[in-house]
Amino acid sequence: MSDVPRLVLLTGATGHLGSYVRRELIRLGWPAIGWTKSPILTDVGLRLERVDLTQRKLVVEACRALSPSHIIHAAALANALTCAREPEQAFKINAQSTQLLAELAKAAKARLLLVSTDLVFNGEQGNYQERDPVSPLSVYGRSKVGAEEAALSVPRAVVVRLSLLFGPDLDGRPYFFDEQLRALRERRPLTLFHDEWRTPLHLAIASRALLDVLVSDWEGILHVGGAERLSRLDMGLRLARHLGHADPIIDACSRMTLPGEPRPRDTSLDSSRWRKLLPGKPWPLFEEALELEGAGIGQTPESAPGQAGP
Ligand SMILES: NC(=O)c1ccc[n+]([C@@H]2O[C@H](COP(=O)([O-])OP(=O)(O)OC[C@H]3O[C@@H](n4cnc5c(N)ncnc54)[C@H](OP(=O)(O)O)[C@@H]3O)[C@@H](O)[C@H]2O)c1
| Per-residue pLDDT tens digits for 105-131 | 999 999 999 999 999 999 999 999 999
Helices then strands, each counted (H, E), the chain: 11, 13
Q: Please name the amino acid found at residue 228.
A: E
Between 307 and 179, residue with greater pLDDT: 179
Task: Output phi, psi for 213, to 5 deg.
Answer: -70, -35
Q: Indicate the length of the chain as a whole number.
A: 310
Query: Model pTM greater than 0.75?
Result: yes
Residue 307 has pLDDT above 50, yes or no: no
> 222: which strand partners?
160
Q: What single string gives the DSSP state of each residue in 106-131? A: HHHT-EEEEEEEGGGS-SSS-SB-TT
Q: Under a CB-based contact definition with an 8 Å cutoff, are residues 35 and 62 in contact?
A: yes
Q: How far does residue 77's CA lie from ligand 1's centre (Å)?
A: 6
pLDDT tens by residue, 142-185: 999 999 999 999 999 999 999 999 999 998 888 889 999 999 98
Name the band, by pLDDT with cuts 50, 70 and 90, for residue 45.
confident
Q: Under a CB-based contact definition with an 8 Å cutoff, are residues 190 and 180 in contact?
A: yes
Helices (H), the chain: 16-28, 56-66, 80-85, 87-90, 97-108, 139-151, 176-185, 203-214, 232-242, 272-277, 286-290
Residue 306 has pLDDT above 60, yes or no: no
Mean per-residue pLDDT for 136-140?
Answer: 98
Tell me the best of 9, 11, 16, 166 to mutate to test the pocket of ligand 1, counting ligand atoms within 8 Å of each CB and taking the most: 16
pLDDT tens by residue, 187-242: 999 999 999 999 999 999 999 999 999 999 999 999 999 999 999 999 999 999 99
Q: What is the pLDDT of residue 117?
A: 98
Q: How far does residue 190's CA lie from ligand 1's centre (Å)?
A: 25
Angle between helices 232-242 and 176-185 (to 10 degrees): 50
Assess whether the C-beta atom of 39 lies below 6 angstroms from ligand 1: no
Q: What is the pLDDT of residue 158?
A: 98
Q: Which residue, among 191, 168, 187, 196, has the nearest Cα to 256 in the 3D structure?
A: 196
Residue 28 has pLDDT above 80, yes or no: yes
* Residues 6 or more apart in contact with residue 93 via CB below 8 angstroms: 53, 54, 75, 76, 77, 143
Q: How far does residue 96's CA lie from ligand 1's centre (Å)?
A: 15
- Say how far apart CA 76 and CA 22 lie, in whole Å: 16
